[in-house]
Structure 1
Amino acid sequence: MNAIDAWAQIATGRTHIELPEVARLFEKSGSAQLLSRHLDPAQTVALMDQGGVDKLMLAAWCRPERWLCTNDEVAVFTRAYPERFVGVATVDLSKPMAAVQELDRAVNELGCKALRIVPWLWKLPPNHRLYYPLYVKCIELDIPFCTQVGHTGPLMPSETGRPVPYLDEVALDFPELRIVAGHIGHPWTDEMIGLAWKHDNIFIDTSAYLPRYYPPQLLHFVQTYGQDKVLFGSNFPQLSLEKCMSQVQDLNLSEEVLAKFLHGNARQVFKL
């Protein structure tokens, strides 16, 4: 089906130690066994084949004061299977100059195709001044900025995930910046849809939600005036690729809409 998963991570086996905030989310999703399980590139590809996923957009992770999964660790996967994995860089937001330099290195030396920063990790919304040099660099490198919207499944404050006013202001300041807002935006789904309609440069990915739980208004958007604006995502390893893909079939999308949702829109946004 040529599916491209717009939001995924490496199963490092260290998540329960380095990111304890997400343990509860994994438990609620029935994937707690993957918190401490390391999957190498070949094992990850086997799960992709089982689920029918062609490519994973694999992101690095950094939180204040330490890295959880480096850009170089992601590059191990992309180099092992360049047709199956696409690197998504991250940076240490607290060090502006070093962050810009690391983003440049991740794209030009490691081949990453996007930048992702998760605001709740930093307790800083995306309109904070520390993000702005990175937005300029993303435009220069012609890569999208990926971020999380909506409430936080992890036990952290959700305010940074509000689409309005935070992401709205970013899109107004940087109309040249392609922005992919992951995790749908619930409970502010209508705000997120409104922003995707308002701004040509804003897109939504469906990660962290099984397709059977997509909000009705998002499904309407996908099938009508927003069919070019929504990308499939899983948040692997939190959600099973096989389960996500099986439930996508149950949505009964038209062939044209399904192709855009599963891979066409991602190819355009990430320039794959």
Structure 2
Amino acid sequence: MTQAQGAIDAWAQLAAGRTRELIPEAVRLFEKSGTTALLDKGLSPEETVAEMDRAGIHKLMVSAWCRPERWVSTNDEVAEYTCAFPDRFVGVAAVDMSKPMAALRELDRAVNELGFKALRVVPWLWKLPPNHRLYYPLYAKCVELDIPFCTQVGHTGPLMPSETGRPVPYLDEVALDFPELRIVAGHIGHPWTEEMIGVAWKHDNIFIDTSAYLPRYYPQALLQYMKTYGQDKVLFGSNFPQLSLSRCMEQVGELGLPDEVREKFLRANARRVFKL
């Protein structure tokens, strides 16, 4: 088995071709990443699997997206991919936080009827940090359903305020209130990477995924953490389609990770955290 074969990508979205229309704040992120071709071009499940095969990625954790007043991609749209290729796509639910009771029902449906394995909320879309009261019923539901909560940490690439992405105090407080909740913090946490590492060290239930950053640009502090006392706490993620799957996996090979660390980073940690 090569280093890429069997990899699990912990953070991805559908390439639906509607980003420019529905998430205009993210257009500059695609421009800076050199992936504007996928802003307006949708990929079918079959085409997405072909991209995964070229990169050597076995499973893609694909999330629905909801923002105030509209859905970007629904849980049912994601389920079309997970049903077409159940061994390749893993569904990650989204909910409309402006409708708290409906959000709880939708999360329950996504997990128990659609087979999804996690919930994701992107705080900058809602302009609400993770310790806001609207999140708390969802955290309790995640614990009840035994699924992780996935969220974004660090500055926002899109032109939106970054404050909601600070690990301290927000995720720190959530982990104290919900020690049974598995939390996967995506996007490394830059420029608060060391703060994110400190929070992950402090709380057994907090993990970091590397999405939205090419491996060549992982901070040295994160690489040191991955190779030493944090090797069970960091998961590979791409943020596809913002980043190329093949380019990410090629650069993982340049990191020179020890075999045991690479296995945990690319596969084992995600299997354990998401109970795949």
TM bin, normalised by shorter chain, reads over 0.9
Query: 1:108 is matched with which residue?
Result: 112
Partner of 2:49: 45
Alignment counterpart, residue 249 of structure 1, candidates 247, 253, 260: 253
Structure 2: which amino acid aligns with 1:3? A
Moved over 6 A (4+): none
Is 1:160 matched with 2:160? no
Alignment partners' CA distance in 2, 1:182 and 1:251: 19
Pairs within 5 Å for 1:17-32: 17-32=21-36
Q: Distance in 1 between matches of 2:207 and 2:47?
A: 30
Distance 2:163 2:157 in 1: 13
Matches within 5 A, 1:1-272: 1-272=5-276
Specify every segment of 5 or more residues in structure 2 that has no aligned partner in the other structure, as ranges: none
**CA deviation after TM superposition for structure 1 residue 88, in Å:** 0.1
TM-score w.r.t. length of structure 1? 1.00
TM-score, structure 2 as length reference: 0.98
Q: Measure how far apart 1:168 and its partner are.
A: 0.3
- Displacement of 1:144: 0.0
Task: Give, in whole Å, the separation in 2 of the partners of 1:35 and 1:263.
Answer: 28
Matches of 1:182 and 1:228 in 2, distance apart?
A: 15
The AA in structure 2 aligned to 1:232 is F
Deviation (angstroms), 1:51: 0.5
How far does residue 215 in structure 1 lie from its aligned partner after superposition? 0.1
Question: Secondary structure at the residue paired with 2:242?
Answer: coil
For these two proteins, the number of residue pairs brought into alignment is 272
- Encode CA deviations 1:221-256: one digit per residue, 9 max, x unaligned: 000000000000000000000000000000010110
Runs of at least 5 residues in structure 1 that lack an aligned partner in the other structure: none
Question: What is the alpha-carbon distance in structure 2 between the residues aligned to residue 14 and residue 101 of structure 1?
Answer: 26
Letter in 1 for 2:245: L
Deviations 1:101-145 (A, max 9, x none): 000000000010000000000000000000000000000000000
